[in-house]
Structure formats: structure tokens, C-alpha cells
Amino acid sequence: MIHLDGISKNYVNAAGMVRDVLKNVSLTLNSGETIAIVGPSGSGKSTLLNIMGGLDKPSKGKVMFLGQDLSSMGEKQSAAIRNKSVGFVFQDHHLLPQLNLMENVLLPGMAEGGSKISGALTERAKLLLAEVELSGKEKQYPAELSGGECQRAALVRALINQPEVLLADEPTGSLDQRSAENLGNMLIEVNQKHKVAMVIVTHALSLARKMDTVYEIQDGQLQLMK
């Protein structure tokens, strides 16, 4: 499904100094597969995830997504792929405070500018919210929900368009232990139920162990751990 081939990413600062974040990283994610990526802070985990989801472009290498070269795609095309085929979950839920729960989860449905949300999508949202035990809270606003509830809602938002892959960047990083465990279990359930491939960047080894494959990033390079 996703194949990273020799991905390198570097940043140049104002003084012209180059900092290599990723060095020649190759990775393959198959349909339905789950991968965890661990590593110290600043090692490039989030950068790798963003490149996989088309949010960022590599300095070198290719990103093949469902047979298409994501790294050389135009912004509009890559946005369309992100909208339809990728779901993102971040450490901070990033729910929009001015929208209620239902509106937040339906947000990806209007990515194509001006198009109205379909009734089918609304129904799917209701089902997904029920799955993550958020039924009855559709009209509540993020400020009225707990951190765990918001993160579960973010998960529903990521799944609303039935993506092929879910990319999660420290999804449990801001949660307490119980909520984190809860969310971790939900992620597994999602994978099993919806056959969604997953790449999860995490510090939590307990979550990482639940994935099919675990990689570690050290000095910009990817090493298989499990």
C-alpha cells in the first residue's frame, strides 16, 4: 500500500547549515498491516509520518501510495489522496472549538470546497461515534468533553472517509494511562474491524508491542525491532 524507497529529509537553517532528519529510509506498509515507529524526541518520527501521508515531501527518495508517486504529486492531488485514503490522528486532538462533535467529525466531508455533507456520511459518523462510545454527545463542543473523548472523536474524524491507512502521531501522548490504554485498544479494534492499515508513532512501548511490526528511528535511520 505504501512503499517508502530511500527517503531522506533534511532542513537548511538561515545560516545555511544542513540538518539531516531522515537518511535513506525505506519502508513498506501492506494493506491491513500495523506498524509502530519508536525513537527518541527529535529523531524524525513525525517527519516520516508526514511524508508517508503526503503532508511533507522528502528531500530525496520516493513515496509510492497505492501505486502512485506521492512525492512528486501536485498539492491538490495529494490533498485528495489524504482526504480519501489517509486518516491522521495527532497528539493534540485539534478539534475545532467552534464546531460541535458531529461537525468536527464530518469536517473531512467538505474538503472539496462547497460540497454539502451527504446523509450517508452523517449516518456513518453516528455509527463510528457509537463505536467509540461517544453516542449522545454529538451536539457537545470540545470544551465540554474530556481529553480522551476528544481524542476518540479525532479518531472518528480520521476514519470518516473510510481511509486505507491511518497515520497516528503520538495519539495517546496527551492522555492519562487509562484513557491511553482505552484508545490503544480502540485502534486495534479499528484495524481489525475496518481493515485499516496503521502507522503509529509512539513513545508508549505497550502500544507499540500491539502492532505487527515495530521500527526504531535512530540518527535518521530506520531499524526493525520486531
Partner 1 sequence: MHYWKQQLAILSGIMLGTAILTGALIVGDSVQYSLKSLVSARLGNIQSILPGRDRFVGIHVADQLSKELNTHMASVLMNRGLMVHPETNQRLPKTQILGVTDDFWKFGDTPYYSLKSNEVVVSESVADKLKLSMGDVIILRIAKEGMIPLNAPFVSHEEVSLSMRLIIAGIADDQHMGRFSLQSNQARPYTAFVSQEALAKKLEMTGKANLLLAESSDVDALNQALARHMLLSDYGLILDSIDDKGHYMLGSERVFIDDELIKQMKSLELQSKGIMTYLVNSIETADKETPYSFVSGIDQELTDILLGANDILVNQWLAEDLDLNEGDSLVLKYYVIGPLRRLEEKQHHFIIKQIVSDSTDLFNRKLMPAFPGLADAGSCSDWEAGIPIDLDKIRDKDEDYWDVYGGTPKAYVSLTTAHELWDTPFGNYTALRIETDQPLEQLSKDLLFPLSPENINLSFIQLRNQSMKAATNGVNFGELFLSLSFFIIAAALLLTILLQSLNLRTRANEGALLSALGFSFKQVLKIRILESILTALPAVLLGILLGIGYNYCLVFALNSVWTDAVQTNELQVFILPNTLLLGGLSGVVMALIPIYWVSRKQLKKTIKQQIIKVSSSTERAGAPNGLLVLSILCFLLAISFMTYAFSKGIDQNSGLFLGAGALVIGAIMMGFLWNARKTSISFSVMTSMNQLAQINLRRNASRSLTVMVLLALGTYTTVITSANRKTFHGTESQNASGTGGYNFWAELALPLLFDLNTKDGLEELGLQNEEGVENTHFLQFHLLEGDDASCLNLNQVQHPKILGVSAHTLDERQSFSFAKTLDMVEKEHPWLALEMDMGEDVIPAFADQTVITWGLIKQLGDSLYYTNEAGKIVTIVLVGGLEASVFQGHLLIADHQFSKHFPSVAGSRVMMVDADASKTAQIGEWLQDDLVDYGLSLHTTEERLANFNSVTNTYLTVFMILGGLGVIIGTIGLGIVLIRNLLERKAEIALLKAIGFSKNSIFQLLFLENLYLLLFGMISGIIAAAIGILPSLLSASFNFGSNGFYWLIGIIFLSGLIWIYWPLQSFLRNDILTDLRSE
Q: Which residues bind partner 1 (CB under 8 A)?
A: 41-42, 45-46, 50, 53, 55-56, 75-76, 79-84, 86-88, 90-92, 94, 96-99, 102-103, 106-108, 110-117, 122, 141, 143, 157-158, 161, 169-170, 173, 201
Q: How far is the CB of 50 from partner 1 (least distance, A)?
A: 6
On the 0-12 / 13-18 / 19+ scale of CB atoms within 10 A, 73 is middle
Q: How far is the CB of 85 from partner 1 (least distance, A)?
A: 9
| Sheet with 18-29, side-by-side order of all strands | 18-29, 2-12, 60-65, 68-69
CB of 117 or CB of 192, closer to partner 1: 117
Least separation in angstroms between residue 37's CB and partner 1 is 12
Strands 197-201 and 34-38: parallel
C-beta separation of 195 from 208 below 8 A: no
Decide whether 201 or 211 has the Cβ nearer to partner 1.
Answer: 201
CB of 81 to partner 1, least distance (A): 8
C-beta neighbour count of 209 within 10 angstroms: 11
Cβ atoms 178, 146 nearer than 8 A: no
Q: For the stretch 117-149, what's the b/e string if a residue is b when 16 or more beta carbons lie within 10 angstroms of its beta carbon?
A: beeebeebbbebbebbebeebbeebbeebeebb
In terms of CB distance, is 16 or 114 closer to partner 1? 114
Q: Which is nearer to partner 1, 15 or 75 (CB)?
A: 75
Minimum CB distance to partner 1 smaller for 107 or for 192: 107
Residue whose cell numbers read 481511509: 163
To the nearest whole angstrom, how small is the minimum distance from the Cβ of residue 212 to partner 1?
A: 22
CB nearer to partner 1: pick between 182 and 202: 202
Give the nearest distance from C-beta 117 to partner 1 in angstroms: 4
Using alpha carbons, select from 11, 63, 21, 69 the residue that is nearest to residue 45.
21
Q: Is 61 helix (H, G, I), strand (E, B) or coil?
A: strand
